[in-house]
Amino acid sequence: MTSEPETAIDAVITWVDGSDPAHIARRRARRAQAASRLHPNGLNPHRWGSSDELTYCLTGLANHAPWLRHVWLVTDAQTPDLSAVPPQIQKRLTIIDHSVIFAGYEQALPTFNSLSIEAMLWRIPGLADAFLYFNDDVFLTGRLLPEDVFHHGHPVLRGKWVDYSALAEDEASLQDPALFNHFTQISAARLAGFSPAHMWASAHVVHPMRRTLLANLFASHHDAFVASISHPFRDLAQFQPMALHNHAAIRAGSFVSIATKDHLHVRSGAETQISPQDMRATLHRATSGGSKFLCINDFPQLAAALPESREWIKRAIGA
């Protein structure tokens, strides 16, 4: 444990353009090779959608976390259009292909599985030991300080303690796409020696992570990692890498949790379940200064249902 602030914190973002014909072809070929029935959570086409989220994510970093040392963008043989991204981020951004982080484990490629990709992010050459993992649907909506994510060297975890013991025994829920993440977090908790009756459920937000901790976990649970990354699409046999990292940090006493909720989450399908007035109220909270993070799981659907949402997001990220 150190009392000194972090001197280098990087950001890692995963991105994919699922409308790319080459990506579609590879995805279809990989699916045709699948030997078993695939989980509906892993086949949701919105999982590979792209609609300005990356630009919003990077703009939020430029405006609300200018202290970041470097930004690593992990892609699958794709190069996004970064012309609308602030130049101060462009000059500190490097694109990393899947082939780099899967070096030595190329048999797992191509993969269309975020869990597999997340398990290998720590292998980015030159990555700082302290890094923030973003999906490109997580946006910074307020000023972020280094101590908001790493406090005296410890990752700051956002989420809550839960009792998932009943869910862990509920086989009827296994095929529910909405509960998929619960089961992969249960698997990760067990791998770290935690019972489903008392485990940490992470929020849909940025994940502060330690590269050395992930490297040690990869070495000590090598067979489990290799088995997990072998799935080209999300599968219940996998564990969530962030949850394994977090439970390992908790086990070591090297973590900080916060009670204040500084993040908002708009789930996939929310635009059909929440009134436009309530959705506008949520977006308003993202611009009112009380929130640092906003996760929108399916931005194209939200933008189609509520076109002004783009302007709300732009205001929130400081564009």
- In order, the DSSP letters of 243-280 are HHHHHHHHHHT--EE-SS--EEEE-TTHHHHS-HHHHH
> What is the Cβ-side half-sphere exposure of residue 100, based on CA atoms within 13 angstroms?
17
Mean pLDDT (whole number) for 277-286: 84
Q: Contact 177/44 with Cβ under 8 angstroms? A: yes
> Rounded mean pLDDT of 76-101?
95
Which two structure tokens, joined as six digits, stand for 156? 């700051």
Domain ranges of the chain: 9-317
- The percentage of the chain sitting over the pLDDT mark of 90, rounded to a whole number, equals 66
C-alpha 171/C-alpha 162 separation (Å) is 19
Angle (CA) 39-45-49 rounded to 5° is 135
Residue 37 has pLDDT above 60, yes or no: yes
Structure tokens at 19: 């409308």
Token pair of 131, please?
């890094």
In whole angstroms, give the CA distance from residue 314 to residue 142: 12
Instruction: Give the rounded percent of residues in the chain with a pLDDT score beyond 70.
Output: 92
Measure the CA–CA gap between 245 and 194, rounded to whole angstroms: 12
Residue 284 in 3-state DSSP? helix
Is 36:294 a contact under the CB 8 Å cutoff?
no
Q: What is the dihedral of CA 164, 176, 122, 140, to 10 degrees?
A: -90
Write out pLDDT tens, residues 256-267: 998 788 998 887
Distances, alpha carbon 17 to alpha carbons 20, 54, 111, 123, 313, in Å:
6, 10, 14, 22, 20
Q: What is the pLDDT of residue 1?
A: 37
pLDDT number for residue 47:
61
- Asked whether the CA dihedral 21, 26, 27, 33 is positive or negative, the reply is positive
Classified as helix, coil or strand, 196 is: coil
Residue with tokens 């009670």, as numbered in its chain: 259
Cβ neighbours for 171, distance < 8 A, ≥ 6 positions apart: none
Fold classification of 9-317 (topology level): Spore Coat Polysaccharide Biosynthesis Protein SpsA; Chain A (3.90.550)
Q: Among residues 139, 148, 144, which one has the least CA distance to residue 319?
A: 139
Among 233, 258, 231, 229, which Cα is nearest to 244's? Answer: 229
* Phi, psi dihedral angles at 182 (to 5 degrees): -60, -45
For the segment 130-148, the average pLDDT, to the nearest whole number, is 93
Task: Assess whether pLDDT exceeds 50 at residue 2.
Answer: no
Mean pLDDT, the chain, as a whole number? 90
CB 302 within 8 A of CB 274: no
pTM comes to 0.92
Edge-to-edge strands, sheet with 154-157: 150-151, 154-157, 256-257
Which amino acid would we find at residue 90? Answer: Q
The answer to whether residue 273 scores a pLDDT higher than 90 is no
Reply yes or no on whether the pLDDT at 103 is more than 70.
yes
Mean pLDDT confidence for 144-173: 95
